[in-house]
Structure 1
Amino acid sequence: MSQITDDTRFSKPLIFMLIGSAFILALSLGVRHGFGLYLVPMSNEFHWSHQVFSLAIAIQNLLWGAMQPFTGALADKYGSKKVVIAGGVLYSLGLLLMSISSNALLLDFSVGVIIGLALSATSFSILLSAVGRAAHPSKRSMAMGIASAAGSFGQFIMLPTTLLLIKSFGWSSALVITAILVALIIPLAWMLKAPMYVAPNAITQVAKPSLSFKQILKIAFNHKPFLWLAFGFLVCGFQVVFLGIHLPGYLIDHGFDASTGTVFLALVGLFNIVGTYTAGYLGDKFSKPHLLMGLYGLRGVAIIAFLTLPLSIWTIYAFGIIMGLLWLSTVPLTNGIVANMFGVKYLTTLTGIVFFTHQVGSFFGGWLGGLNHDLTGNYNAIWICSIVLSGLGVMVHFFVNEEAIVHD
């Protein structure tokens, strides 16, 4: 493998990779964040309860997480480019099948299984790990933050675009058009070619025997801070998927139209750009676990304020801005901690394992939100769970540290 041996500045290949990763994440996650806009029109047309669509999204998130360590292992062995290309093909296919899903089984297969597999190959774990390998260790969190922030712009763009497509052409045609856009992931994958960073003095050092994949996994699963970090990511998954899928419906229940929920999610995407970049920048200067404690604590405070203040356009949009700043700021910090603990050789696989717990939380946040609404007509129990989980998120990161267990 070729190596970068210059100083801490971003190399041209890394900049090229950052641009490609940003566009891929913008498409992959931008489309995914818009799925909540399909809940009401599809449920109304086919007379589904909210649980039907919610379960399909829950399956998507769970399979996405379950497959992430395996797609990560493939990326570690064969390169990110090939994995992302395969993911782009699956993503387009899944959207096309979703456009003709008239029953729960086909919806579960298209949205849940195929798109879940596609997301495991086209999202954060694959792309940020590739960026992390190519970046100087002192700039790793920032590089991940830049890729995450630029990718977040896709949520800001794709949400109003999705709503416009649904209103102009109907939900089915909107999905076909979106499938064509997502196919752009395939040529963009060729931009993922930056080589791994190696410190200049490492070239002259006597090579040490590298640990095997099985040895790394054994060390990881016996390292308690790594397990606490993984558990903390479950909180993030529960909260962002519950809000991303169900807040538009929550607002409709309270008399607001679909565009209000779309603007909320678009604001989340816009301010997520600031949040993820800032988190990456601060992660290179301050304790990442302490920053994560602050993020989860602020989420809990924001949710409590949103529920206790009178509901209005202004409180909804203010909540969107605040949650945007806190939304995926956890990602560059969490991935950076894993890289500091274990190095970058198996980074994609190890971040995939941590991300699996995120998706377990996503499964319950998406599914239980719909179940709670069907049973009670409201989301009260899930709001309470979100607040309690914020407290747990603060607590578990008290036991996380960045101490290097395996050196690059």
Structure 2
Amino acid sequence: MSATTQPGASPAAPARLRPPPLWLLLAAGGLLVAISGGVRATFGLYLDPVIDDLGSDRAMYGLAIAIQSIVWGVGQPIAGAIADRFGAARVLGAGAAIYAVGLFSMAAADDALALHATAGFLAGAGMAAASLSVVLASLSRLAPADRRSQALGIATAFGTAGQVALIPLTQWILDTSDWRTAALVMGVILVAMAVAAPAFRGSAEDQTRPDERSVAPLTPLREDLRKARYSRGYLLLNTAFFVCGFHVTFIATHLKSYASDLGQSGRVAAWALVLIGLFNMVGSYSAGVLGGRYSKTRLLSLVYGARAIVIAVFVLVPAGSATTLVFGAAIGLLWLTTVPLTSGIIAAQFGTANAGALFGIVFLSHQVGAFIGAWLGGYLADSTGSYDVVWWLSVALGVMAAVIHLLLDEGPAPDPPPPGQRRVILAPATNALFVVVIGFAIVATVQLGADATAAESTGFDVTSLWCPLHPAWLS
């Protein structure tokens, strides 16, 4: 018997999905991002075995990871928009399948082109859909507002929990078998993501909590995109997140090779990556908690500034296994702490209706940085015989990102100007001054680092620092 509508009564509202319990969302989301992030973190372990097997160089493998990063970045806003409209569960499931195919195909790669197509394009496309960003966008809608920042921090912490288990497993397979077997095993593990994806079923409209839906109706994506285009805070956020991508991808891809150049075993670098994962869980959770109490922009400024300090100290102090392990722990505390804070700023600026697409655009900027970090690290290491310049560039970029977040407003984005009227994002004089100061800081820091490294190689005491306007060493 079909239901009828009484005369004068309004049509019944469409049925809404009841949000799963928060603990179930966190468990499912944790499994998804742990597997996706854990497998992704193993790619740095393949560098030396792959180039030895294929007879290539670090730039070739770096380009494969760079392609992976940019495909992931370009695909992220697309995957986010599809997930917002048609449901995150479908996107996560499809992404896991593509990701697994990429690993299976990578195991059969016998030249650079095949590696770029499999580990680069296919794996990158799978990462875009089966990603932390899609999970965070859904969580930002499904979690209660007063627990949202904490939930995002917990989910982000799981992003590196997987590497704590999968990096030692991959290194063990590399020691006892070969890199092709390791890739096959990682592909099988990716299939397990299909178990947790259904927890995030439903579109953005379905997932929006009833208390928030009644306060603020869903905003069309086109309107939010236009608002974002004219938002100074959103544009600065894109610029700063570029630095995060550069840092994490350069380190994840090249740390093992850098440690090998210093005479350290592959196991030392592998354990350093494990420590990154362990300490990231503490850092990301703490960032989520602190982000609910303090200014997210100020916290991000501290994170990027601390990264610059940690990297500078790592390069300047005498090399050793203990130094590499301590670096892994220290940088791990700052590893993905940027993600819940950045995601939280976007939710505060634009709401949660189009969070997947808007965070996806910011994440594209992150992946452009990742592309440059992965490829440039390998290219400069091959051409100069050292990673030193890239390390010091990382320091300079960290300083730049710290300054940018001091200029960033995390409040609601203002309405866009009327058609035909332009809004000044930064006053011309302020913009020019900002470019000059940041440019000088980058050049001076890289020059300082290059001189410090050269001086250290000659036995000079690198603890005696100098004015960056006069970079010549004084004897």
Q: Report TM bin, short chain.
A: over 0.9
Q: Which residue of 1 aligns with 2:49?
A: 41
Q: Which residue of 1 aligns with 2:79?
A: 71
- Deviating more after overlay: 275-284 vs 184-193: 184-193
Deviation at 1:3, TM superposition (A): 6.5
Are 1:242 and 2:256 an aligned pair? no
Deviation at 1:384, TM superposition (A): 1.4
Once the two structures are superposed, residues 127-170 of structure 1 have per-residue CA deviations (whole angstroms, 9 ceiling, x without a partner) of 11111111122221110101111232101111111101222221
Once the two structures are superposed, residues 233-276 of structure 1 have per-residue CA deviations (whole angstroms, 9 ceiling, x without a partner) of 00000011111010100010110010011000000001000000
> Which entry has the higher C-alpha Rg, 1 or 2?
2
Using the size of structure 2 for normalisation, the TM-score is 0.81
CA contact (8 A) 1:26 1:152 kept: yes
CA RMSD between the two structures: 1.7
Are 1:332 and 2:340 an aligned pair? yes
- Counting only pairs closer than 5 Å after superposition, residues 3-22 of structure 1 correspond to structure 2 as 13-22=21-30
Question: After TM superposition, which residue ranges in structure 1, 4 or more long, deviate above 4 angstroms?
Answer: none
How many residue pairs match? The answer is: 398
**Counterpart Cα distance in 2 of 1:389 and 1:135:** 34
Among 183, 197, 209, the residue aligned to 1:198? 209
CA contact (8 A) 1:136 1:197 kept: no
Residue aligned with 2:159, SS: helix
Structure 1 pair 222–87 and aligned structure 2 pair: CA distance change class (3 A)? same
Are 1:28 and 2:36 an aligned pair? yes
Greater RCO (Cα-Cα under 8 Å, separation 6 or more): 1
Q: Which residue of 2 aligns with 1:90?
A: 98
Q: Which residue of 2 aligns with 1:314?
A: 322
**Counterpart Cα distance in 1 of 2:209 and 2:31:** 26
Among 251, 263, 278, the residue aligned to 2:286? 278
Deviation at 1:308, TM superposition (A): 1.1
Structure 1 pair 254–228 and aligned structure 2 pair: CA distance change class (3 A)? same
Deviation at 1:202, TM superposition (A): 5.8
**Counterpart Cα distance in 2 of 1:95 and 1:303:** 31
**Counterpart Cα distance in 2 of 1:247 and 1:184:** 28
Once the two structures are superposed, residues 295-319 of structure 1 have per-residue CA deviations (whole angstroms, 9 ceiling, x without a partner) of 0000000011111111122211111
Tell me which amino acid in the other structure corresponds to 1:23. Answer: L
Using the size of structure 1 for normalisation, the TM-score is 0.94
Q: Which residue of 2 aligns with 1:371?
A: 379
Deviation at 1:361, TM superposition (A): 0.3
Deviation at 1:173, TM superposition (A): 1.2
Structure 2: state its 5+ residue gaps: 1-14, 416-475
CA contact (8 A) 1:28 1:123 kept: yes
Structure 1: state its 5+ residue gaps: 5-10
- Deviating more after overlay: 73-82 vs 391-400: 391-400
CA contact (8 A) 1:71 1:121 kept: yes
Q: Which residue of 2 aligns with 1:300?
A: 308
Structure 1 pair 354–176 and aligned structure 2 pair: CA distance change class (3 A)? same
Q: Which residue of 1 aligns with 2:297?
A: 289
Tell me which amino acid in the other structure corresponds to 2:266. Answer: A
Q: Which residue of 1 aligns with 2:188?
A: 180
Structure 1 pair 87–406 and aligned structure 2 pair: CA distance change class (3 A)? farther
Residue aligned with 2:56, SS: coil
Deviation at 1:197, TM superposition (A): 4.7
Tell me which amino acid in the other structure corresponds to 1:73. Answer: A
Tell me which amino acid in the other structure corresponds to 1:196. Answer: Q
Are 1:137 and 2:145 an aligned pair? yes
Q: Which residue of 1 aligns with 2:169?
A: 161
Structure whose residues are more often helix by fraction: 1
Deviation at 1:187, TM superposition (A): 2.2
**Counterpart Cα distance in 2 of 1:84 and 1:201:** 25
- Deviating more after overlay: 60-69 vs 164-173: 164-173
Q: Which residue of 1 aligns with 2:62?
A: 54
- Deviating more after overlay: 155-164 vs 329-338: 155-164
Tell me which amino acid in the other structure corresponds to 1:33. Answer: A
Tell me which amino acid in the other structure corresponds to 1:56. Answer: A
**Counterpart Cα distance in 2 of 1:12 and 1:257:** 46
Are 1:2 and 2:16 an aligned pair? yes
Deviation at 1:2, TM superposition (A): 2.5
- Deviating more after overlay: 282-291 vs 141-150: 141-150
**Counterpart Cα distance in 2 of 1:154 and 1:224:** 36
Structure 1 pair 201–326 and aligned structure 2 pair: CA distance change class (3 A)? closer
**Counterpart Cα distance in 2 of 1:198 and 1:134:** 6
Structure 1 pair 201–255 and aligned structure 2 pair: CA distance change class (3 A)? closer
CA contact (8 A) 2:94 2:129 kept: yes
CA contact (8 A) 2:26 2:154 kept: yes
Identity fraction in percent: 36
- Deviating more after overlay: 167-176 vs 249-258: 167-176
**Counterpart Cα distance in 1 of 2:103 and 2:213:** 46
**Counterpart Cα distance in 2 of 1:186 and 1:341:** 32
CA contact (8 A) 1:17 1:193 kept: no
